Amino acid sequence: MSRSSSLKATLGIFYIIVAVTIIITQYNIHFSSMEVTPVRTDHRDGRFYVYLDHTLNFGARQDVPTHTSWDAPIIWEGMFDPDLHDQTHFEANSSVALAVFAVGRYLEFYLHNFLTSAEKHFMLGLSVTYYVFTDYPEKVPKMELGPWRSMKVLQVEKHPRWQDVSMMRMKTLAEFIESDIRHHCNYVFCFDVDQVFTGRFGSEALGDSVALLHAHFYTLPQHRFTYERRPTSQAFLETGDFYYHAALFGGSWENMKNLTEACLAGIMEDKKNKVEAVWHDESHLNKYYWLHKPTRVLSPEYCWDRRLYDINIWVTRLVWVKKHYRQTRV
């Protein structure tokens, strides 16, 4: 082989090595920027199915837990591309029911600010129907709603105790999911009314079964969780995964129907046995999520108490407002 041919061969090998190096580098950059959840398997028909979720960037948050032991994502600021999620759900024609109960003076103190803030921040760009459950339909404020947004005001019975209002919303939700909501909406979220939206609460929160980490408990050891510890209650829970907040919960209409019916059954069985769970419907909700793991968990930024300080809370999306217990819990 001549010197010229040898040089050409050497240069050819060199260029090949450079090209391969560039390809490998670009491959690594691409995949390091993508989220890959821990492998999740489902055993069906004698086979294992593996699911990978590339819509979230778990590596973006090293400071907080980003997935559960059963590989459900825990959603934090910085983990998701809002435009990607919104486009995906827009193309899928996702529609959301927002259910809120404003009974007694809760309507007077909270409903207007709740709805006004929801118009600014909740599931913008998607079809949203507000289901306002109240004992005073005529007092629900008239509002000008944005595109693809509507409101239904539904009259419900006023119970003598706020605890019963809280617990019996499970009955009302189960009934209306079956009779109405399931015909119009893919997803359902139930919110406490004494809150306001302060930032994006978007499509990244949508999932088959969505639970919320309680702001006061998510950093505490499990023995300090306020589960119902009495075996006489249907909400009895000796151990658990997290402590979930009943200020909001959601999911597909099918899963929300199952959840509300299961919680209602536990509440009614307790009433028959003259037992009341320590934290009412929240206790039953925690029992349900222990038996039926949520597929998506929202970090406390989705319902934050501003009296707390936590360096891990980069944004707030929904916040507690001042509680007027003396005026509302009568």
Structure token pair of residue 62? 């090293």
Answer for the pair 131, 152: CB distance below 8 angstroms, yes or no: yes
Question: What's the Cα-to-Cα distance from 195 to each of 126, 226, 321, rounded to whole Å?
Answer: 21, 22, 5
Residue 177, H or E segment: helix 162-179
Does residue 282 carry a catalytic annotation?
yes
CA–CA gap between residue 210 and residue 249 (Å, rounded): 6
- Name residue, tokens 């707390």: 308
How would you label 167-183 residue by residue, b for 16+ Cβ within 10 Å and e otherwise?
A: bbbbbbbbebbeeebbe
> How many residues appear in the chain?
330
CA–CA gap between residue 203 and residue 89 (Å, rounded): 7
DSSP for 226-257, written as a single string: --B--TTSTTB-S--S--B-TTEEEEEHHHHH
- Name residue, tokens 């909400």: 235
CA–CA gap between residue 103 and residue 77 (Å, rounded): 33
Answer for the pair 281, 169: CB distance below 8 angstroms, yes or no: yes
CA–CA gap between residue 154 and residue 137 (Å, rounded): 7
The torsion region of residue 87 among left (phi > 0), alpha (psi -120 to 50) and beta comes to: alpha
- Name residue, tokens 């408990």: 217
Question: Which phi and psi (to 5°) does residue 55 adopt?
Answer: -90, -10
Structure token pair of residue 262? 């299961």
- Please tell me whether residue 191 adopts helix, strand or coil conformation: strand
Catalytic residue positions, numbered? 282
